[in-house]
Amino acid sequence: MTCCTQLTGCRHTCTERPEGCETVAIAELTFDYDHWFLDDLPGDQDARVHPRQVTGAAYSLVEPTRTDSPTLAAHSAEVAALLGIKPGLVDTDQFAKVFSGNEILPGMAPFAANYGGHQFGHWAGQLGDGRAIALGEVKLADGGHQTLQLKGAGPTPYSRSADGRAVLRSSVREFLCSEAMHHLGVPTTRALSLALTGDKVMRDVMYDGHPAPEAGAVVCRVAPSFVRFGSFELPASRGEENLLRAFVEHTIRRLFPYLVPTASAGKPLTSDVLVAWLQEVADLTADLMVDWMRVGFVHGVMNTDNLSILGLTIDYGPYGWLENYDPDWTPNTTDAQGRRYRYGNQPEVGLWNLVRLANALYPLIGEAAPLERVLDSYASRYANGWNGALRAKLGLSSAKASDADVIGSELLALLPRIETDMTIFFRLLGDLDLSKTASNPTNEELVAPLLPAYYLPEELAGDVLAATASWVRSYRAISGNAGQSGAERQQAMHAVNPKYVLRNYLAQMAIDEAETGEFGLIDDLLDILRKPFDEQPDKHEFGAKRPDWARDRVGCSMLSCSS
């Protein structure tokens, strides 16, 4: 058998490599494609890849750029199974080629999406997929639908002055965090694979005038859709009402079909349906903010082009995990002055972004009142969700709600007074033995079980010690009246308070190893973070507090948008 070298990559199963054949393909690596996005929406008629304004189109067809010597660094077995990829295929050369952008399989239709957005509160105009290229949209065996997207696969018409590439450090962070968030129960895009390109990429990590070559990498991201708030803002800003309508129709009919009345087939969706859809998006966004806050996740760059219409965590850039509880912390150096995207402000930014989306939809609805009602509902949706999440974290879901909410608010005001590890504190609180106490314990005795959560336990003294001990006394009283046994309480709290999260320093350690060509720690972290609520006794070091060396290190306490 000979290979067809005229095609992009080899399309045949070859028993041996004929002279001149670049690729020996494996026929089993196939997918059932169902290109909703391309079928429903108009595309760019200009085939040029150079940066430009693209009008009247939702996407541009563009293929990934081939690289020097792609290799697979890591993959998620769960995502591979979701896509129906047989385990043995992950270890083949073809898998590395396909998911680094070096081979296009039959049926794939690579494209980059066109969208705009507000960045740091200001309208930025056209943005688009500047370094992300979707390979295609896959229909799953269970009827589901997933888009395969390569991040770092080369330039597109939306790359502006950039090269469309991604570096290893940012790719490791996205790969690990996508999967870590999923296993924490936080809605997110997934990550199938992390591939090295074999090429070098020039980057200035802190934007301080010191660029250096770094290893290039590509992450294959997976989601039902990558449509975001900015997908609707761009056509609205340009007065492209037909494109805006097409985007809305595509999104509701394909991604929210339960909102579509049976009688609407072949007819434009009514304003009532559009408002109901905005309500769904508002609810999903409020719920996502609750999830971020309950696990201590800080996105770092909540621009409207980085918020998913499906309520997924999307576009992992300068994110960080809240180690010591500080509502004002932001991991993003670009945000260091205004702290717009700080941990404690994320719910408010979610609403701000929804207002921008509602403004974009106004031309199709023509009335402000129904949109305002949706926006007004956000605060109560978030508040109810957060109060419920905090009660669960405290093990007080069955306690009197008013008591639980007061004790929760008091704790959140207390924790920032000295450096307190959020994840460890709530985990230790679940281990607190409420049945054993001296008849009149001292303040020191009351707080002793919680001391491992403090970065500087010697500072737990004076007024702070007194306030903390007073809180523990109140907590013990309320918890004791909640009607749970000690074992039931511990089990309930451990089910919502993770033992393991992707701490900033752990991600940096994995990056440091990967930059030497070692990927074992990536696999280890992936395995540990699959079971974040389990004790995993032999892995306790991965649940430890941030070490001193990571306190001020780039990549641990501070990150740029290139991270």
Q: What is the DSSP string of 267-313?
A: SPPPHHHHHHHHHHHHHHHHHHHHHHHHHTEE-S---GGGSBTTS-B
CA 530 to each of CA 263, 331, 430, 497: distance values in angstroms, whole numbers, following the listed order: 44, 24, 21, 14
Is residue 558 classed as helix, strand or coil in its secondary structure? strand
- Amino acid residing at 401: A
Please say whether the beta carbons of 450 and 469 come within 8 A: no
Which member of 129, 287, 291, 305 is catalytic?
A: 305
- How far from chain centre, in Å, is Cα 262? 34
Residue 208 neighbours by CB under 8 Å, 6+ apart: none
Distance CA 416, CA 476 (A): 21
CA 552 to each of CA 179, 318, 412: distance values in angstroms, whole numbers, following the listed order: 26, 15, 24
Q: Does the annotation mark 163 as catalytic? A: no
Number of H helices, E strands in the chain: 16, 12
Q: How would you class 462 by CB atoms within 10 Å of its CB: exposed for 0-12, middle for 13-18, buried for 19 or more?
A: exposed
Residue 479 neighbours by CB under 8 Å, 6+ apart: 394, 395, 396, 399, 434, 489
Phi, psi (5° rounding) for residue 197? Answer: -90, -25
Distance CA 83, CA 77 (A): 10
- Catalytic site residues? 305
